[in-house]
Amino acid sequence: MAVGVTLVASMGIEYKVAPHLLTSSNYTALAYPFLINIIPLGYPCWKWINLHIVNYKIHKQLMSIVHSEQLIDYGDKKETSTFNERKVEYGVKIIYEETSEGIYITVYPNGIKHSDATQTLNNRLEETFNMNVLSVDHQLSYTRYLLRDVDKQQMGVTDNAF
């Protein structure tokens, strides 16, 4: 929507300014109103690049969990989306966060039929990410998992410990 608004605004500016710029042979100034579209176009492009290129491995691992645990509710078999795939009615929302404490994976069921499956992903997450699930926070609207590689934790022992 933001791209559409800025595109219409830049076209309006072009409509008013273009005749004057064309008569003065200032052709480079014609491109300036379209540069307004860099900001609203840049954000969705960055989100797509971040998801499909930078964090591709994590995205692929999370999607394998979603598909194997049937965390998506599809519509009718006859009803398809733009790319001839089955239409998704409901699906989980997964938020992946890396912190100094470990990896937090928050799963929001969003009305799927198998919403109880979001609370039993311990083994699947451990298997996929090759880490241990240290804690599970079950809430009414989400389930948050804390994953950490226990083998890489450093244990500090001092003389006062004995």
Task: Say which CATH number the domain at 71 has.
Answer: 3.30.70
Q: Are 33 and 89 within one domain?
A: no
Mean pLDDT of 99-114: 89
Higher pLDDT, 150 or 149: 149
In this structure, is residue 162 part of a structural domain?
no
Print the domain residue range for 1: 1-54
Q: Which of 9, 24, 54 is the last residue of a domain?
A: 54
* Whether 49 and 71 share a structural domain: no
Please give the pLDDT value at position 133: 92
Residue 161 lies in a domain: no
Same domain, 39 and 89: no
Q: How many domains does the chain have?
A: 2
Instruction: Note whether 68 and 110 are within 8 A (CB).
Output: no
Residue 77 and residue 35 in one domain: no
Q: For residue 87, what pLDDT band results from cuts at 50, 70 and 90?
A: confident
Domain match, 145 and 97 both = yes
| CA pair distance 48, 57, nearest whole angstrom | 14
93-98 and 103-108: which strand pairing?
antiparallel
